[in-house]
Amino acid sequence: MSDLQKFVSDVGFTFIASAVSMLLGFPITVVLGRYLGADDLGLYRMVNTIFGTVMLFVTIGIPAAVIKYVAEFRDNDKKLGQIVSGGLITSILLGLISFIFIYVSASLFAAVFHMPELSGLLKILAFAFPFSVVTGMLFGLLNGLREMTKNAWISIIQSASMLIFTFLLIFNYGVNGAVVGIVFSYVMTTLLLIFVQKIPNLTFSNFSDNAFQLINFGSKTVLSNAINLINYQADILMIGYFMTKTDVGVYSVAVMFAKLIWILPDSIQKITFPLISEYHAKEMNGSIHILVDKCMKYSCLFLVFGTTFFIFFGNRVISLIFGAEFEHSYFPLIILLIGTVLYGITKSVGSIFASVGKVSLVYKIPLISAISNIVLNIVLIPIYGMNGAALATTISLIVSTVVMISFMKTLINIRVDFIWYIKVLFLSGLLICFFLSFKNLINDILLGVILQIIELTLFSVYFISNHDKNKMFHLFSIYVN
């Protein structure tokens, strides 16, 4: 299999797994919103937000470090075994520490966010941490080895198990049952990964050196991820602080749909991180430039198409799925989409600085946007509520995008074809203006469908090169036959 076929295959499997996992996780949010209401959905979202935030710090970036060093030393069995052993043993210790921390601090979190129910939910969630930390490290091993088919299947199984456990428990135990479902799914996923993935015999040879190497690299990515987490989660946390759990529930629906369009760039990034690391180790700079250009452009087409879909049909989709209580999610969604589409263009290659060893830039670049995000949330939420939170997040994402592209150009000599992106955005902007102008004169669903077909056709004809289309058809024919 050629490198191109391998890349397309990996992205395809990862995309399908992400799509299926998202679809499997979607009913949980719908049931919580429809059956339990915005209050309990807000509690569930706060639990998930705290879970993701704590997980970021307690892993100390071990999964990202494992991806990088496994990709670089995949042909060196001895070194590979030492890296995996160092990562696994360290992850087990970190998982136990995080369990104790969350269980003891549950009441404190509940007091900070003025949600007494959080205490009991977080004590339940604490049992997931030892397993989730190890799971993250083992997924890092699969990514580093580029075993994306195996990664995809296990991700789907994890999402399916969470859905099954949640549905078995939620109707009798409410939001408590949903949190227990999270715990059970991580326990099962950890056991499955250990069973499926061949793990080298654990060794303490050079353990301290390898653990230090992983923590040294990983800790630098933690700050970057923490800053990005501020851009992703600060709005929900601050709405939880300034407003109510009901507002958190309503706003979380807008966030969920806005991040839905990141499914492709997120899938691509899982491949580009180890691949760029490998190219950099082999000094294949030309291949890095081509890869970055293609990934960003095709991510852009997907993101813009998804954004126009939600502008055309988002209001109807939200009302149909979640009911009238969540109609106020639509306007924050539109504001968020501006930031998510622009930031998503670079998201597919977001690990490029870590891949080429410029780790300090990984956290320095988004720092300005994170500071602006916090300040803007503090200023805008008390005045404009959810819309203020969405605006603060969008501005911070745009700032992060501009700074990242600037550093990619000056430090790695990545050339961005700005004219191409302007044409794509201008074309879609015209279609959106046409829709807004005539949606009250023509059936808006029919008009939206026609305009999306036109958009897709124009993208295919004018923004995908004949060379790339021929390659796509060739690869498709190979897989079909």
Whether pLDDT at 194 is above 60? yes
Environment class of 147 (CB within 10 Å of its CB; exposed 0-12, middle 13-18, buried 19+): middle
Share of the chain above pLDDT 90, in %: 17
User: Could you read off the pLDDT of 61-104 as tens digits, one per residue?
Assistant: 788 777 777 777 777 777 777 887 888 888 888 889 989 998 99
pLDDT of residue 50: 84
Residue 301's closest CA among 397, 417, 421, 414? 421
Whether pLDDT at 284 is above 80? no
For the beta carbon of residue 433, count every other beta carbon within 10 angstroms.
Answer: 10
Going from the C-alpha of 420 to that of each of 17, 222, 294, 341, the distances in angstroms are 30, 34, 12, 15
pLDDT of residue 201: 65
Distance CA 162, CA 365 (A): 35
More confident residue, 260 or 420: 420
Q: Which residues contact 9 (CB under 8 A, 6 or more apart)?
A: 1, 148
**Residues 165-171: what's their mean pLDDT?**
85
Asked if 366 and 231 touch (Cβ cutoff 8 Å), the reply is yes
Q: Write down the mean pLDDT value for the chain.
A: 81
Q: Which residues contact 400 (CB under 8 A, 6 or more apart)?
A: 228, 231, 343, 365, 366, 368, 369
**pLDDT-based confidence at residue 199 (cuts at 50, 70, 90):** low
**pLDDT-based confidence at residue 449 (cuts at 50, 70, 90):** very high
pLDDT of residue 479: 43
Burial code (b: 16+ CB inside 10 Å, e: under 16) for 320-330 equals ebbeebbebbb
* The two three-digit tokens of residue 405, written as one number: 């592209």
**pLDDT-based confidence at residue 309 (cuts at 50, 70, 90):** very high
More confident residue, 9 or 50: 50
Asked if 254 and 393 touch (Cβ cutoff 8 Å), the reply is no
pLDDT of residue 259: 85
More confident residue, 311 or 270: 311
Whether pLDDT at 338 is above 90? yes
* The two three-digit tokens of residue 459, written as one number: 């993208």
